Structure 1
Amino acid sequence: MSRPARRLVVERPGEFRLVTGERPEPGPGEARVAVHAAGICASDRELFDGTRPADYVRYPVVPGHEWSGTVEAVGAGVDPALLGRGTVAEGFRACQRCDRCRAGEQTLCTAGYAETGFTEPGAFADHLVVPARLLHPLAPEVDLTSAALLEPAAVVAAAVLRGAPRAAERIAVLGCGTLGLLAVQLLSAFSPVELLAVDPRSRPLTLAAGMGATAAVTPGQLDYEAAGFDLVVETAGAPGTAADACRLARRGGRVVLTGVPEPGARGLDPVLLVVNQLTVANVFGAPPAAWSYAVHAFNHGLLRPEKLISHQLPLESFGEAMRLVGSGDPGVGKVLLRP
């Protein structure tokens, strides 16, 4: 008989319990991972509060879509060389058969939404089972704790790939939460002549300045008339930041939106878009190519997420972790659960 294992189950909004049972066993094409660390983000808070759109969650559910761990068992048809490897994994469970998947756009899969931690069991547990095809093994020497941030890093990597930065450009990052600070790190590798970080909070601005930003300012310090950035990456999802990102771009510039605003956000000015001939793109989640890019950058030290982590709590402190994430405390960065 397998050893008991714990999992944190959110039964319905606001109600959770820690359940003990047998370890899950991987089926054909699957791998079981011993969870090392799992991050909590605003989407997990939405799941817990019941504000996540109904099509994007299935209760009861074990949350946890940002995680790292070690492969400890594999099912039939899976390479046994994966055993003992540190790993992360893509969250989207794309069908791999529809036109969009075959075009490499797995985040637009037409078979319906399915994602680890929202509709499928996630990593707020001692173990989780995922399709082995989604795994991205890590270099042996990397830090598994900071690797738990590779899911948001993959989203940022998708934005960077869409934005196609070039050396010597002027680049701005609007919003310096987890996504924004990871974006600063990736974008600094392209040697921009200017890399501006914008956030209303002092702690993120201090971190951004140490991660490659050449300037770090609050929104009130922005001079839109003198902005003229070649590329603007928006990560905040605040009511006005998508529109503000377009105002920061030069004529003919590029804007990539990654933040997901709440209903009622200020829309984009169509006159500004047309007259300035802006190219506006957006990302939701990360396709496999973005995951590969993020993991490669992490394995080679271009991504250094460890300074973004402010709290590490045991699995049984899930309630405290939720309070931290929703507290608005400027001292709270990335919160991790450590099974």
Structure 2
Amino acid sequence: MKANVLHGLGDLRAEEIATPAPGPGEVLLRIGACGVCGSDIPRVFTKGTYRFPTVPGHEFAGRVVALGDGVDPALLHRKAAVFPLLPCRRCPSCEIGEYALCDDYDYMGSRRDGAFAEYIVSPVWNLVLAPDTLGFEELAMTEPAAVAVHALRQAGLDVGDSVFISGAGPIGLMLAYWAKAWGASRILLADVDETKLAFARSLGFADVLNPLQGDAGEWAKARTEGRGADVAIEGAGISASWENCLRAVRKLGRVVLMGNPAGGMALSQDGYWEMLRKQLTVRGTWNSSFAASPRNEWRLVVDSMASGRLDLKPLISHRCSLEDAFEAMRMMRDRTAFFNKVMILPSGGEV
């Protein structure tokens, strides 16, 4: 099969490798689409995967084309998104269904081969089955959409709450979509990249701010009857973004830290005072919940997309083949063009 194989830092090659075979309890999927996550850029260019060679890619969906021993024949030809984390099922976190906090997990696209390829093997347990009415590109966004909804759940978002989101990239915009679907009274988006703010406006989010051109706290108060946002979510992973959230949220408000920092995070004395004097609740969030219903956020995403309540297709800015994927990732790294969600179509999108 064709695959993008990472042989070393910056050495991603489109080449032919052996097609994997499903073992007992596993299926083989032909990949319809795989999104490029922001974390894939340092993984390919600066940070590396846990071993070389590795096929990156963890935001994907496909169709079941072969079954391992013991797998229900009814799964053949079904569409599915795939939870890329393989938990140990033995540690204390796994015992209570908190698989994202597993002490000894495996992970497609970083610790084992992922989905920058035509095919991938997955345990049946990791499948999130979907109706044929959903396209593969939509399904491939299940992973980041589940991460976004998990952050909102950590924030305890309620109907009528106002939400400040720092970072208007793909996850930030997914947060905004979820907040809108959840009944937020106001959605405030902040980013220092004017092209991202323009894109957010084109999607119908009118309340946007460049923090380099205005104080986030005063701006949020002006749009929320002088109080500040009920909830603030940090989605950029930089210190200034964190402080903007602390300033933008109201007294007794909630702040969720979601952004994955590339370097150290620092908090000023003024930022610390914001937490003290407002008596803020500050929480972290990590990955998503894949436990049994009703807490399976992956199932929630797929069902919401299937019902039309969540439409993420407008977030896709670029589509490319496996052969063009490395060039697309260089574009993302160097920011030579505006992008939001970049989608790799290993089989041309048709499976």
| % identity of equivalent residues | 32
Distance 2:51 2:247 in 1: 38
Instruction: State the partner residue of 1:338.
Output: 345
Go from structure 1 to structure 2 and tell me whether the alpha carbon gap of 1:296 and 1:207 turns closer, same or farther (over 3 Å shift).
farther
Q: Per the alignment, in what secondary structure is the counterpart of residue 339 of structure 2?
A: coil
Q: Per the alignment, in what secondary structure is the counterpart of residue 68 of structure 1?
A: strand
Distance 1:152 1:176 in 2: 14
**CA positional deviation for 1:106:** 1.1
- C-alpha RMSD of the superposition: 1.9
Instruction: State the partner residue of 1:50.
Output: 46
Q: Structure 1: which amino acid aligns with 2:228?
A: G
Distance 1:216 1:271 in 2: 26
Aligned with 2:322 (options 315, 325, 334)? 315
Distance 1:243 1:104 in 2: 33
Deviation digits for residues 44-73 of structure 1 (CA, Å, limit 9, x no counterpart): 111111325xxx632221001111111111
Distance 1:97 1:78 in 2: 23
Deviation digits for residues 114-147 of structure 1 (CA, Å, limit 9, x no counterpart): 2110011100111000111011011221121232
Aligned with 1:280 (options 279, 282, 290)? 282
Moved more, 100-109 or 268-277: 268-277
Moved more, 260-269 or 32-41: 260-269
Distance 2:297 2:203 in 1: 21
Kindly report which structure 2 residues correspond to 1:36-185, keeping only aligned pairs within 5 A, or say none: 36-51=32-47, 57-111=50-104, 113-185=105-177
Instruction: State the partner residue of 1:237.
Output: 237
Q: In the alignment, is residue 258 of structure 1 matched against residue 258 of structure 2? A: yes
Instruction: State the partner residue of 1:34.
Output: 30
Distance 2:298 2:204 in 1: 22
Deviation digits for residues 291-319 of structure 1 (CA, Å, limit 9, x no counterpart): 22222222222222211211111101122
Distance 1:137 1:211 in 2: 28
Distance 1:21 1:327 in 2: 29
Go from structure 1 to structure 2 and tell me whether the alpha carbon gap of 1:278 and 1:330 turns closer, same or farther (over 3 Å shift).
farther
Distance 1:23 1:290 in 2: 30
Q: Structure 2: which amino acid aligns with 1:293?
A: L
Q: Structure 1: which amino acid aligns with 2:2?
A: R
Residues 252 and 279, structure 1, Cα contact 8 Å, conserved in 2: yes
Distance 2:72 2:201 in 1: 43
Residues 40 and 325, structure 1, Cα contact 8 Å, conserved in 2: no
Structure 2 residues without counterparts, runs of 5 or longer:
222-226, 291-295, 347-351
Distance 2:287 2:259 in 1: 11
Residues 217 and 247, structure 2, Cα contact 8 Å, conserved in 1: yes
Distance 1:77 1:267 in 2: 53
**CA positional deviation for 1:287:** 2.3
Residues 233 and 256, structure 1, Cα contact 8 Å, conserved in 2: yes
Residues 243 and 267, structure 1, Cα contact 8 Å, conserved in 2: yes
Aligned with 2:2 (options 1, 6, 10)? 6
Instruction: State the partner residue of 2:196.
Output: 204
User: How does the TM-score come out when normalised to structure 2?
Assistant: 0.88
Number of positions where the alignment pairs a residue of Structure 1 with one of Structure 2:
331
Structure 1 residues without counterparts, runs of 5 or longer:
none
Residues 216 and 247, structure 2, Cα contact 8 Å, conserved in 1: no
Go from structure 1 to structure 2 and tell me whether the alpha carbon gap of 1:33 and 1:328 turns closer, same or farther (over 3 Å shift).
same
Residues 257 and 284, structure 2, Cα contact 8 Å, conserved in 1: yes
Distance 1:21 1:204 in 2: 37
Distance 1:67 1:186 in 2: 20
Residues 237 and 259, structure 1, Cα contact 8 Å, conserved in 2: yes
Go from structure 1 to structure 2 and tell me whether the alpha carbon gap of 1:108 and 1:320 turns closer, same or farther (over 3 Å shift).
same
Residues 90 and 134, structure 1, Cα contact 8 Å, conserved in 2: yes
Tell me which stretches of 4 or more aligned residues in structure 1 moved more than 6 Å.
none
Instruction: State the partner residue of 2:267.
Output: 267
User: How does the TM-score come out when normalised to structure 1?
Assistant: 0.91
Residues 184 and 211, structure 1, Cα contact 8 Å, conserved in 2: no
